[in-house]
Structure 1
Amino acid sequence: MYIVLFSMVTCLSTCYCLIDDGKNEKHCGPLKQWFESTSVSVEIGKKGFHREVVTTVELSPDVVAEVNVLLIYRWPRGVYLDPYQLAAESDQRDWQILLNSDIDLEVPAHKTSGFVTYVYPTLDGPSPRLLKVTIPIHGRYSEPSFIGKTFTSVNIEPPELLLRTEKCMQLNNLDPHNVMDAPCTADNSSTCSWVKIQCQQEHAPVSFQFPVGDRTLVMPVCGGTLLVTVICCVALSKYMWKHHI
């Protein structure tokens, strides 16, 4: 009797696993196909110390609304994002952002480090799904150069693209794509498993330049400023003495 009961439990467990695997394959199968037709491109807008990083994500036309998208940016120390600006413009954009640390707006580039942001675009619009994220960035002041260098280069790496769907549970079978943990939403209230998309072509970082000071000009500038100040003081004193002011 125990043998019969054990056989029945084993059979039911096997059937349940097969059904569960079948459901998982049903929901994860399309997800694998979406990976192959997804691309990310980055370009830089505006000039000077105030720029824009424009990221375009092209998803498969078959992507459904249940898919969540996450872009992870790893910013270099030469730039920063203004949290106050991001908060003020939150109602004017269709994406949310989460900063991994506090940002000091006044620290120069050589006294700070890079940081990470998590950007959550909203899937809304006709197919094919084109997501465009425009992030305002600002250049930090760099340490003056001793060798007459007038510009410094900043490299912006393309963001990591992560996808997630509530119905696909067994993500470990989605080779060659990696599974990693990241905040589920911009509220950072919980952590979810995401699939990091492995792009077929590695995109090169986008580079641009910020001006830097020339420390070799410190003495000439200071000397000239002091000389002009002394001349102006002498001329003003003579004028006041002459007119008895």
Structure 2
Amino acid sequence: MGGPSGGRPGMAGAAAAAALLCALHVHAACQHATVTQELLQAGFHRELLVKVELGEGGEDAGGCTVAARIRLPPGIYVDPYELASLQRHNLTKAVLVPAAVDVEAPEYSATELLVLLYMEPDPWCSRCFRAVLPMHGRYHRPAEDSEEASVVLKSPEVLRCCCDNRLSTECWTPAEVEAPCSSKPDGPCQWYSTMRKPVPEELILQVPVGLRQHSSIVCVLTLLATGLCSSLILAAVCKHGHFSAVTSSE
């Protein structure tokens, strides 16, 4: 009687250890997605290059859609008209939330923008995806001693959509995304969020800003330029315009 009863704690401990090792193995296998960001061009008009590598531990991405959910701070915006033009030429595909964007609003009165950027497969890497998002810096308040304002871009979230539900529930969690899956655009499809390796450093965008001590000079030059242009336009109209008297008949 003592042998079997004494073996039960050992069996329970072995089972617990096996379960822990299995959980650690699954957790390690899920840490496979890597996201990198790169800023292209300079000034107010930039391009954000996003690269995603699912790694060797993930499922095959064939037949699935991979997207990056990017949260743009108020200092950056995406022009919906520019994006629509690029989508007509199959250059970039993305969904904006909200869809209406005030492109004239300055940074201090703008709101955060959510972008779902659809990724394209990399022909040189079976588990790699990439996409380019055009974005623009907003005007900031004049600064005291710096000619640039820093806008921090956080790492995007990796999303996948497989309408045949082939994703592992240990590595993927359901995500609330109000956007169609390109593999099945006419029907409902569940998006999933994957674990990813954290980016060591956040991406920082430098936006040119004016200096506060130059405000008076800018105002004077603006008034002079406006007055000069208005005078030239008025002179051209008086010299080359054709005026005719208009009479009304009773």
Q: Indicate the TM-score class for this superposition, using the shorter chain for normalisation.
A: 0.5 to 0.7
Q: Relative to structure 1, is the Cα distance of residues 33 and 122 closer, same or farther in structure 2, using a 3 angstrom cutoff?
A: farther
- Residue aligning to 2:110: 112
CA contact (8 A) 1:73 1:117 kept: yes
Residue 225 of structure 1, CA deviation: 8.0
Question: For the residues of structure 2 that align with 1:86 and 1:108, how far apart are their CA atoms?
Answer: 20
Listed as ranges, the matches of 1:40-59 within 5 Å are 40-59=35-54
- Residue aligning to 2:93: 96
Segments of 5+ residues of structure 2 without an aligned counterpart are 1-25, 226-250
TM-score normalised per structure 1: 0.67
Q: CA RMSD in A?
A: 3.4
- Residue aligning to 2:137: 139
Determine which of 176, 187, 207 is the counterpart of 1:181.
176
Deviations 1:56-84 (A, max 9, x none): 11234662422221210100111111111
CA contact (8 A) 1:68 1:164 kept: yes
Q: Which amino acid is 2:114 matched to?
A: V
Determine which of 151, 157, 160 is the counterpart of 1:163.
160
Give the aligned length.
197
Residue 221 of structure 1, CA deviation: 5.0
Q: Relative to structure 1, is the Cα distance of residues 189 and 140 closer, same or farther in structure 2, using a 3 angstrom cutoff?
A: farther
- Residue aligning to 2:128: 130
CA contact (8 A) 2:33 2:52 kept: yes
Question: For the residues of structure 1 that align with 2:28 and 2:191, how far apart are their CA atoms?
Answer: 16
What fraction of aligned residue pairs are identical, expressed as a percent? 26
Q: Which amino acid is 1:103 matched to?
A: V
Segments of 5+ residues of structure 1 without an aligned counterpart are 1-30, 229-245
Q: Relative to structure 1, is the Cα distance of residues 221 and 189 closer, same or farther in structure 2, using a 3 angstrom cutoff?
A: same
Q: What SS does structure 2 have at the residue aligned with 1:158?
A: coil
Determine which of 35, 39, 53 is the counterpart of 2:34.
39
CA contact (8 A) 2:52 2:128 kept: yes
Deviations 1:41-100 (A, max 9, x none): 111110011111000112346624222212101001111111111111114446521111
TM-score normalised per structure 2: 0.65
CA contact (8 A) 1:184 1:190 kept: no
- Residue aligning to 2:211: 214
Determine which of 182, 192, 196 is the counterpart of 1:195.
192
- Residue aligning to 1:25: none
Question: For the residues of structure 2 that align with 1:52 and 1:40, how far apart are their CA atoms?
Answer: 16
Q: Relative to structure 1, is the Cα distance of residues 208 and 183 closer, same or farther in structure 2, using a 3 angstrom cutoff?
A: same
